[in-house]
Structure formats: structure tokens, C-alpha cells
Amino acid sequence: MSANKLVAPEGRADAPARETARRARTRERLLDAAYRQFSEHGINGASIEAIADDAGFTRGAFYSNFGSKEELFFALTERENRARLETLREHFSRLVAPLGETGGKPAPAHIEGIIADVMSFQPDIRQWCLMQSEFRLLALRDPDVAPRFLAAAQSFQRELATMIDTAVRAVGVRFRIDALDLTRLLVDQFDSAMQEAILAGDEDPDRSVREKVMRTLPLLVHSLTTTLDGD
């Protein structure tokens, strides 16, 4: 198949393309506004009017893009998860690939370096944590929201698990527990450290989350890995 087949004849596709791009920008601005409003006022406190207004649009523009506040919330979660996974993927491949086969388990200090680097690229810990806590509670209380929330969380964990599994296999080790179970363990530790940093009123939550996570994660990963030949 020639690549030319995928290119629209000159000029023809411009108007729909512009429309699509404009629509995408509107959605992005609504999502940005929603992030600000949700994390500041909570799900119940943030009205659709306030979100539309913050983004510089009308209520009508909101509803032509999202059916409800919950739908917007799911779109926002998906966008943020996507962005985080992309960043993690880049850093994993940049950091882990050059290690090659070490012929043994990487030392905790080594694992520590990788986790520290990967974690230093998690933006907006405070806002993200508040938004997630809020959304999780809504899902825990609302059986209509719960399945979709759980599916989004599990999809994130599965992608991250595959990424982590690929990374450790490239280094010549494997986990002694299911990669998904381990991923859950890491994600839970991270979430819990985020919450604790916020509760403690830490001025630099990002740094204190890193410090907390470093107390357990490297040893945890080290203890739960073994060489591919069962060392």
C-alpha cells in the first residue's frame, strides 16, 4: 500500500480538518478548566457553568462536547492517565534499556535510581491526588459510575504493569509475583504517600512523596524479583 493513499487531495480536507482541530482545542480548554475547578472545589462544588466560564465558553459549548460532568471527568482521567503513561514509557525505555543484561538482580541502589528518575516526572501531585480521591469516592457511592471508574483504573494499571514487566525482563530479571499485583502495590504506595504528604501539609509534596516512596519501593522491588533462571 502506498503512503500516498492516506493523504487527502490538496485543499479538499482543509475545512473539516480545521473544524476537527478547533473542536479538539475546545475540548482541551474545557478539560484544563475542569481540572482547575474540580481540584479546587470538588466534584459537587464545581458547576458546569463555572467550568465553561473558566474555559471561556458557554454552557452550550460544554454540552456539545460532554454529556455530563461525569463524562468530562472520565475524559479528564483518561487524558491525564495517558499523559502519565507516555512520560513513564519514555523514561523507562531511556533508563532501563541501556542496562542490558546484568546477569543478576539489580541492586536496590540501582532500582532506587530508576524509581527516583521515573518519579521526578510526576507533575501536580496535589491537584491530581485531590481529583482522584474525589472521583474515587463518587464512584464508591454511585453504582452507575463505579464500573467505568474501575475499568479506567485497571486499564491504567495493566498498561503500567506491561511496561514494568518489559523493563525488568530487558534487565534479565522477573518478578516473583504477578506483574499486575506488583504494579498495584507500587501504585497504592504512591497514592498513599501522596495523601499523607497532603494531610501533613508538606510545603513540597512532590519531594516528600519521593522520600516516602523511596523508603520501601526499592527494597520491595528487589525482594520480589529473581533472575530469569530462578536465582
Q: Rule CB under 8 A: which residues touch a copy of itself? A: 42, 44, 129-130, 133-134, 136-137, 139-141, 143, 146-147, 149-150, 153, 176-178, 181, 184-185, 188-189, 191-192, 195-196, 198-201, 215-216, 219-220, 223-224
Contacting residues for 191 by C-beta, under 8 A, at least 6 apart: 129, 132
Q: How far is the CB of 204 from a copy of itself (least distance, A)?
A: 16
Between residues 86 and 178, which has the closer beta carbon with respect to a copy of itself? 178
Q: How far is the CB of 168 from a copy of itself (least distance, A)?
A: 15
Between residues 23 and 215, which has the closer beta carbon with respect to a copy of itself? 215
Q: How far is the CB of 79 from a copy of itself (least distance, A)?
A: 21
**How far is CA 136 from each of CA 23, 39, 42, rounded to the nearest angstrom?**
29, 13, 12
Separation between Cα atoms, residue 207 and residue 108, nearest integer Å: 20
- The three-state secondary structure class of 229 is coil
Between residues 94 and 215, which has the closer beta carbon with respect to a copy of itself? 215
- The three-state secondary structure class of 10 is coil
Q: How far is the CB of 198 from a copy of itself (least distance, A)?
A: 5
Instruction: Please name the helix (run of DSSP H) or strand (run of DSSP E) that holds residue 172, with its range, or none.
Output: none
Match 523514561 to its residue by C-alpha cell. Answer: 91
Q: How far is the CB of 84 from a copy of itself (least distance, A)?
A: 18
Between residues 13 and 137, which has the closer beta carbon with respect to a copy of itself? 137
| Side-chain half-sphere CA neighbours of 149 within 13 A | 18
Between residues 31 and 220, which has the closer beta carbon with respect to a copy of itself? 220
Contact 127/39 with Cβ under 8 angstroms? Answer: yes
